[in-house]
Structure 1
Amino acid sequence: MTRASEAADDIAYRTEDFDRLAINTVRFLAADAVQAAGSGHPGLPLGTSTVAWTLWSRHLRHDPADPTWPDRDRFVLSAGHGSMLLYALLHVFGYDLPMSELRRFRQLGSRTPGHPEYGHTPGVETTTGPLGQGIANAVGMALAERMLAARCNIDGHTVVDHRTWVLAGDGDLMEGISHEAASLAGRLGLDRLTVIFDDNDITIDGPASRSCADDVAARFGAYGWRVLTVADGNDVAELDRALGQCTDPDGRPTLVRVRTTIGFGAPGVEGTPKAHGSPLGPDVLARMRARLQWPHGAFHVPDAVAAAAAVVGARGAEAHRRWSDAHARWQADHAALSAQFPLDAVPAPDDLDRIAMLADEAVPGGMVATRKASGAVLEALAAEYPGLVGGSADLAASTNTAIAGGDVGPGRFGGRTIHFGIREHGMAAVLNGMALHGGLRPFGSTFLVFADYLRPALRLSALMRLPVIYVFTHDSVHVGEDGPTHQPVEQLESLRLIPGVTVLRPADFSETAAAWQMAVANTCGPTVLVLSRQDLPVLGGARLDDLRRFGARTVRGGEAAPDVILAASGSEVALALAAADTLATRGVDARVVSVMCRERLDAALRNGELGRPPAPTVWIEAGVPAGWRAIAAPDDAVIGINRFGESGPGAQVAAALGLTTDAVVAAALGCIRGHTR
């Protein structure tokens, strides 16, 4: 007997009349909440309540008493504007979301915000609303499930065995990120992933066919997906059959195309764009109640529906209990494995200090690009940290992010290096899904200039406080001959503007090791490592604790009060050191400070952890200078780049844009004169 049919036998109310009652309960909870809020999106909940009820009551394995149970099925509402559908389901099925919160839909401080927010509402698996993100997150969840199953399901133990379900709309499938993620999922054969396509042919501007004539079935078939079709989104029996078929092993992810009517049941509104994003109004709601034979007032849940949902919850609790017993046996038989992969949290290595000391051991002197330093540290770190997995957007050899352990591929989920292809946006959203799933610590990489392609997903990493690690190399105009299309100028500053993102730009091998240490230790949000293409001098491992505490360290002249301070990040620290040498020949004592994390330094200065600099400062970075000007004192100077670059040898391009020893020396002397007047 399949899991789905076994579940159906437990529901004593499985009749057409009862299903209609339950579906209308969900419909009217959504419509009433949108009406009470005076804003929201009733169209999707009204059109897909039958789909949602059929899935949640018959196929989704979940335990409302514990929304974080590691082996639960995941449900992602990718079309997050239809959030009241999800909130209605969570309430009806007994999650910790009382009716009072449904009544406070979209109100400040409620647990029912306008779009679902991870960590805010029990049972919400990911933050959705920006269309397409949820589909890509779900690909990451399904990938993490297969990768953990390959690691943990051994010797007759099965502790990872669940599915990922997505409800998506036309807009999700139009967004480019859905193409990237779906293509990757098909290539990997993620057969525990099902996307239910709410095919209502309506967008805000009118029929979807005005702008999109894709053959969705052919498109997903070409990606390597199995495609099923349900002609009537209100046919419970047909939906039940199709969703049950999704759980039959096929070796492919599944798209279920369901024809629905947006705003179903709302007279004069259903099937039109008017149903999408506005309350129905009291007159339409009253006519809808009459049409769907719903005699109840607002926010009503019939006792029979609550009882049936409780049966589903009890069944989920029993499945959870059986899993807990199996998990305890697995832990007893494989204590070391369970410590490495606890299935929910991801522990960091205990001896991170030793990892951070690798720099001095590996490269006692000379020159090395920080991207290469990162590769060496990552290799050593991966050997100590089996939960660390990731890859690149087709740039592993350039970003130095391939790690030992083999590649991940179709049927080969025990590997550690993921080839995301040239899909930066999809990569970042998949990484988010892996982090949301738990059990693994994901990283991804590309060139810094292409961070623009993945910014929406990185923003959601920060919003959800996900510990994703991003490795961005080729970090400045020193990229050289590739020209301005590949020379980042504004990207570094734009990343610092995202709340909750830790941006680290190390200056040498030692700092790169410390940056990886900080990234791994940061479990409260994403970390960005910004790394050089060109070789940089190895400065040594002194004062690395200052980097962790204050975001900066002194690399020259920290003992006496200096005449001037030269503060720079990344590759420009070498420029500052060269300028300090020149200043010394003129009798000027310059302290050189490496600022690996400007935001941490700024915070330390503002909260009094550090005193104000004892001398005027020249701030130097190969990027737009606006953020540095914000922390500079009136007597300070800022050297940056306010224009796009040019094609040519990197050192020549940097010099043409004003990043020269002479420019730094002149700025330093000008600061000293201005300070002494």
Structure 2
Amino acid sequence: MTGTLLDKTTTQLDELSVNTIRFLAVDAVQKANSGHPGLPMGAAPMAYIIWTKFLRHNPHNPKWFNRDRFVLSAGHGSMLLYALLHLTGYDLGLEDLKHFRQLHSRTPGHPENFQTPGVEVTTGPLGQGLGNGIGLAIAEEHLAARYNKPGHQIIDHYTYAIVSDGDLMEGVASEAASLGGHLGLGKVIYLYDDNHISIDGETELSFTEDRMKRFEAYGWHTQHVTDGNDLVAIEEAVHAARAVTDRPSIIAVRTIIGYGSPNKANSHDVHGSPLGPDEVKATKLNLKWPLEPDFYIPDDVLAHFRQAVDNGAKAEAEWHERFAAYKAEFPAEAAELEGLISGTLPEGWEQALPTFSPTDKPIATRAASGKVLGAVTAVLPGLIGGSADLAPSNNTYVKAFKDFQKDTPYGRNFHFGVREHGMGAVMNGMALHGGLKVYGGTFLIFMDYMKGAVRVAALSHSPVVYVYTHDSIGLGEDGPTHQPVEQLITLRATPNLTVIRPADGTETAGAWKIAIESKSTPVALILTRQNLPIQPTSSIEGVAKGGYTLVEAENPDLILIGTGSEVFLVVDAQKKLAEQGVAAKVVSLPSWELFEQQPQAYKDSVLNPGVKRLAVEAGSTFGWHKYTGLDGDVIGIDTYGASAPIKDVMPAFGFTVENVTARALKLLGK
């Protein structure tokens, strides 16, 4: 834990400690008869150096705010991380290791941040963790720039990660690494497990560029360690990386996958399969490890690792002393920072939400979203975000604040560049660091480029906010390549993701209120390019319930359901139907997920059982019969769009008052 180079020798205790990590992984994978033993066996030395020489953390308080962050981006090697967590004293017992990959265990096949104490981010989909690490470092850099004062380094920690060949192959890693280099994130140190093996075989099959030259081009500091078992060389390289403060660092450590296995080391056979009983025995004999018992931990090794408990408690106590001194000199800043750390919103913040009136000019919900952001960012110090090179279109730029750049890390406008997937991964890291509420914008169609990160956000309870604009064929002339159809239902099908498609400015303010208050669920805002009228009865409270009655009708003959830009169509159709003696009720249903959380009695009061229903939405009809019933009808889009002005393209696909009225009458048999 000292972070200082004490000598140039490797002790027997060091070697025993490294092998303890290896064999905890080997035994756990063998017991489960499932897993990836190769990476822990090869990468154990570099992990040992980071966790015993450099990592500042408190095993008894995994959420200590100023801890260093460690990311195992190569999440398939999860037993490496679980072994370290157990050995250093986290609330992860030996029985947990013995239940690796079993139902309801705290040691799942890939690390899950909400499942296992000490796991910072959920990893497994390769490249995501590398991107998360960039986000973690951005959060540290931003908060340090805003709250540290001369003589008071309150926010001051590193992000370490172990990344693999697979991580570096994935495109998301290139996006995130490019951004990290541009921003000059000097507290990022990645160790690259350069073992030259992937599932198919040797990486020479498909991965032959000079990886470190690529990272040099991104603006990273690079080093090579030629022997992955050379603890001194690894430690020296990390020291050198820490001395470089103006750019991120990556250290290529040449390892042998499955190190110690006489018959499987350095082959893809050891990547994703247990060694097998005979090879486990042969490996233990080869590395002079006791054959029995399994999960053996020498007493002196455990005592050595468990120094992390006292060291961590001391480090945190010293930090609290420093924070107390900081608070005495800067009480306002300290109070604000404490609120960010706890996730507490300022009292009465929602009063800053702008109001919209039916007498206002029609406004696109993307523009209404921009108004909300401009108003609430001033009272929400943790709100930060930007877009994937679409700020003018997404309305995500807040003019009152500067840009987050290398020389202005206190800025709150973020430029992710044309890197949707990287943006998603970075956002997750920023959010899971703590202290920030993060948003990122792009066109809804490009959600496809970042879906992997969206899924990980939902899985890992990362409460990010997606600002998805240009939400339908209503964007017009850009045509089918830019007109989303199936994206909305794709998002709705994602567990633990709240999707909100507001109908006007008022509902947009309500959608942002939900997003800002969300603690463990990402929220996707689905916003229009085209202007929409403000509905007289739309409400923030209605959005919170997911769906509500916009226009009431006593003993209705029909219920018209709309979302987003189609709500005004069903409102106008309701008036036309009234002229023909049809009593139609109008329901705005901006969020299926929030509506499903309501009591059944409320849902029945909105969608009266037994009354026929017609839903109208400029997107896929898939899933809508959940609300219309099989005897209902849906006006939607189940083909691709067309390139044409909105005045032509919307009518061409049936989104007119006349068509809604005609379909309603047909549904009623009239």
TM-score w.r.t. the length of structure 1 is 0.95
Paired position in structure 1 for 2:89: 94
Q: Is the 8 A contact 2:353 2:375 kept in 1?
A: no
Structure 1 counterpart of 2:510, from 502, 514, 517: 514
Could you tell me which amino acid in structure 2 is paired with residue 92 of structure 1?
A: L
Q: Could you list the per-position Cα deviations for residues 139-185 of structure 1 after superposition, in whole angstroms to 9, with x for gaps in the alignment? A: 00000000000111014211101000010100000000000000000
Paired position in structure 1 for 2:659: 663
- In structure 1, the gaps of 5 or more residues are none
Look up the SS of the partner of 2:334 in the other structure.
helix
Change (3 A) 1:160 1:544: closer
Superposition pairs of residues 243-282 of structure 1, within 5 angstroms? 243-282=238-277
Look up the SS of the partner of 1:359 in the other structure.
coil
Look up the SS of the partner of 1:269 in the other structure.
coil
Q: CA–CA distance in 2 between the matches of 1:578 and 1:235? A: 74
Q: Does 1:585 align with 2:579?
A: yes
Q: Percent identity?
A: 47
Change (3 A) 1:533 1:52: same
- In structure 2, the gaps of 5 or more residues are none
Structure 2 counterpart of 1:321, from 304, 317, 323: 317
Q: Is the 8 A contact 2:389 2:416 kept in 1?
A: yes
Paired position in structure 1 for 2:540: 544
Change (3 A) 1:316 1:383: same
Q: Could you list the per-position Cα deviations for residues 366-413 of structure 1 after superposition, in whole angstroms to 9, with x for gaps in the alignment? A: 211110011011100101111100000000000000112100001311
Structure 1 counterpart of 2:132, from 126, 137, 143: 137
Could you tell me which amino acid in structure 2 is paired with residue 562 of structure 1?
A: P
**What's the CA shift for 1:605?**
6.8
**What's the CA shift for 1:353?**
4.2
Structure 2 counterpart of 1:424, from 417, 420, 423: 420
**What's the CA shift for 1:635?**
3.3
Structure 1 counterpart of 2:70, from 72, 75, 78: 75
Superposition pairs of residues 383-402 of structure 1, within 5 angstroms? 383-402=378-397
Q: CA–CA distance in 1 between the matches of 2:463 and 2:207? A: 36
Change (3 A) 1:553 1:161: same
Look up the SS of the partner of 1:252 in the other structure.
coil
Change (3 A) 1:631 1:554: closer
Q: Is the 8 A contact 1:191 1:249 kept in 2?
A: yes
Look up the SS of the partner of 2:3 in the other structure.
helix
Q: CA–CA distance in 1 between the matches of 2:497 and 2:273? A: 34
**What's the CA shift for 1:610?**
3.3
Q: CA–CA distance in 2 between the matches of 1:479 and 1:293? A: 67
Q: Does 1:166 align with 2:161?
A: yes
Paired position in structure 1 for 2:4: 5
> Which of 134-143 and 327-336 deviates more?
327-336
Could you tell me which amino acid in structure 1 is paired with residue 135 of structure 2?
A: G
Change (3 A) 1:20 1:396: same
Paired position in structure 1 for 2:554: 560
Look up the SS of the partner of 1:197 in the other structure.
strand
Paired position in structure 1 for 2:19: 24
Structure 1 counterpart of 2:344, from 330, 347, 350: 347
Q: Could you list the per-position Cα deviations for residues 610-629 of structure 1 after superposition, in whole angstroms to 9, with x for gaps in the alignment? A: 33426322111001111111
Paired position in structure 2 for 1:481: 477
Q: Could you list the per-position Cα deviations for residues 338-367 of structure 1 after superposition, in whole angstroms to 9, with x for gaps in the alignment? A: 33222533322432542345224xx74221
Structure 1 stretches of 4+ moved >4 Å: 605-609
Paired position in structure 2 for 1:439: 435
Could you tell me which amino acid in structure 1 is paired with residue 73 of structure 2?
A: S
Superposition pairs of residues 288-299 of structure 1, within 5 angstroms? 288-297=283-292, 298-299=294-295
Structure 1 counterpart of 2:58, from 54, 63, 77: 63
Q: CA–CA distance in 1 between the matches of 2:327 and 2:590? A: 41
Could you tell me which amino acid in structure 2 is paired with residue 257 of structure 1?
A: A
Q: CA–CA distance in 2 between the matches of 1:74 and 1:194? A: 10
Superposition pairs of residues 125-204 of structure 1, within 5 angstroms? 125-204=120-199
Q: Is the 8 A contact 1:340 1:387 kept in 2?
A: no
Paired position in structure 1 for 2:355: 358
Q: CA–CA distance in 1 between the matches of 2:636 and 2:593? A: 17
Q: CA–CA distance in 1 between the matches of 2:479 and 2:342? A: 43
Q: Does 1:459 align with 2:459?
A: no
Change (3 A) 1:355 1:635: farther
Paired position in structure 1 for 2:616: 620
Look up the SS of the partner of 1:547 in the other structure.
helix
Q: CA–CA distance in 1 between the matches of 2:102 and 2:465? A: 34
Q: Is the 8 A contact 2:507 2:538 kept in 1?
A: no
Structure 1 counterpart of 2:637, from 636, 641, 647: 641
Look up the SS of the partner of 1:299 in the other structure.
coil
**What's the CA shift for 1:296?**
4.9
**What's the CA shift for 1:541?**
5.6
Paired position in structure 1 for 2:564: 570
**What's the CA shift for 1:670?**
2.0
**What's the CA shift for 1:327?**
1.4
Q: Is the 8 A contact 1:356 1:510 kept in 2?
A: no
Q: CA–CA distance in 2 between the matches of 1:563 and 1:335? A: 62
**What's the CA shift for 1:543?**
4.1
Structure 1 counterpart of 2:593, from 595, 599, 621: 599
Paired position in structure 2 for 1:36: 31
Could you tell me which amino acid in structure 2 is paired with residue 240 of structure 1?
A: E
Could you tell me which amino acid in structure 2 is paired with residue 207 of structure 1?
A: E
Could you tell me which amino acid in structure 1 is paired with residue 67 of structure 2?
A: R
Could you tell me which amino acid in structure 1 is paired with residue 621 of structure 2?
A: P
Q: Is the 8 A contact 1:357 1:541 kept in 2?
A: no
Paired position in structure 2 for 1:122: 117
Change (3 A) 1:237 1:603: closer
Look up the SS of the partner of 1:274 in the other structure.
helix
**What's the CA shift for 1:194?**
0.8
Q: CA–CA distance in 2 between the matches of 1:252 and 1:241? A: 18
Change (3 A) 1:349 1:223: same
Q: CA–CA distance in 2 between the matches of 1:610 and 1:371? A: 31
**What's the CA shift for 1:608?**
5.3
Q: Could you list the per-position Cα deviations for residues 562-620 of structure 1 after superposition, in whole angstroms to 9, with x for gaps in the alignment? A: 33221100000111122223223322232222111123334437465533426322111
Change (3 A) 1:605 1:580: farther
Q: Is the 8 A contact 2:356 2:505 kept in 1?
A: yes
CA RMSD of aligned residues (A): 1.8
